[in-house]
Amino acid sequence: MNKWLRKSLFVTISILTFGLVTPSQLINQANAEKINDRDGFETPAPERSFVQANSYLIETEFNREKFMQELIKQAEIQSYQKFGTRIKPVIESEFRGIILPNIEKAIEETASQFPEDRVKNLTITEQPGSGLSEKIFNIKDSVSGKDIIRFHVRRDNPPQAGYWFNFHYHTYHDDFHTHHELGSIYWDRNTPPKWMS
């Protein structure tokens, strides 16, 4: 029963990840596991034939363009989640017209540095920073777990100029030290609410 449950889980994961995790990877992982006494009594052939028979239906060809569109869509969703219900209505139009195209360009330029077999490992973080945190989202390599690019928004309050949201990003190339500007959006002379409020 345990093998049937594992087999079902592997198939479900393959379907949900749209082929990013292939059945052949799962078979290799399963074969690499040490066989214990209980497994010695089960025949592995039906499990393999089930996965192999369905691999045609599950395995899909990687489409870099669609993958990048989905990554950028997730970046936009994370940004709006960061803004919250009080900031989003005020800056959404300018963000969409000025900042989002620059975020898209930065993501595409960074992804272009990776071969296809590695670009499909790029994932976006699931939770933006709240309160006064600058973090909007990070893009990391899901295999190594290391951040590749970090997108931030800082609150600036120059003298006599009101509050501004300064959007920028950092990359792993210089250990995230350099600010790469994406643009700024004016808020108001009043202090903006906290992020995600």
Give the mean pLDDT per block of 10 residues along the chain (197 residues).
Answer: 57 59 50 41 36 45 87 94 96 96 95 89 90 95 94 95 97 94 96 95
DSSP state of 120: T
Check whether residue 102 and residue 152 sit in a common domain: yes
For residue 5, what pLDDT is reported?
55
Check whether residue 96 and residue 119 sit in a common domain: yes
Q: Which residues, listed in sequence order, are joined to residue 141 by a DSSP beta bridge?
A: 122
| Distance of alpha carbon 136 from alpha carbon 75, whole angstroms | 9
Check whether residue 145 and residue 120 sit in a common domain: yes
| Distance of alpha carbon 98 from alpha carbon 25, whole angstroms | 41
Q: Which residues, listed in sequence order, are joined to residue 138 by a DSSP beta bridge?
A: 150
147-156 and 135-141 beta bridge pairing:
antiparallel
Check whether residue 48 and residue 68 sit in a common domain: no
Q: pLDDT per residue over 42-60, tens digit each?
A: 333 333 333 344 444 444 5
Residue 182, C-beta contacts closer than 8 angstroms, at least 6 positions apart: 99, 102, 103, 106, 151, 167, 168, 169
Q: Distance from CA of residue 22 to its chain's centroid? A: 19
For residue 102, what pLDDT is reported?
97
Q: Give whole-number Cα distances, 167 to 42, 123, 137, 164, in Å.
A: 57, 20, 12, 10
Check whether residue 26 and residue 70 sit in a common domain: no
For residue 50, what pLDDT is reported?
37
Residues in the chain: 197
For residue 144, what pLDDT is reported?
92
Q: Coil, strand, or helix at residue 157?
A: coil
Q: Give whole-number Cα distances, 136 to 18, 139, 170, 190, 193, in Å.
A: 26, 10, 12, 22, 16
Q: Model pTM?
A: 0.68
| Distance of alpha carbon 44 from alpha carbon 63, whole angstroms | 33
DSSP state of 174: G
Check whether residue 18 and residue 102 sit in a common domain: no
Check whether residue 80 and residue 97 sit in a common domain: yes
Check whether residue 43 and residue 77 sit in a common domain: no
Check whether residue 68 and residue 54 sit in a common domain: no
Interhelix angle 2-16/45-58, rounded to 10 degrees, is 10
CA angle, 163 then 166 then 168, to 5°: 170
| Distance of alpha carbon 7 from alpha carbon 9, whole angstroms | 5
Q: Which domain holds residue 45?
A: 2-58
Q: pLDDT per residue over 83-102, tens digit each?
A: 999 999 999 999 999 999 99
As a whole number of Å, the CA-based R_g of the chain is: 22
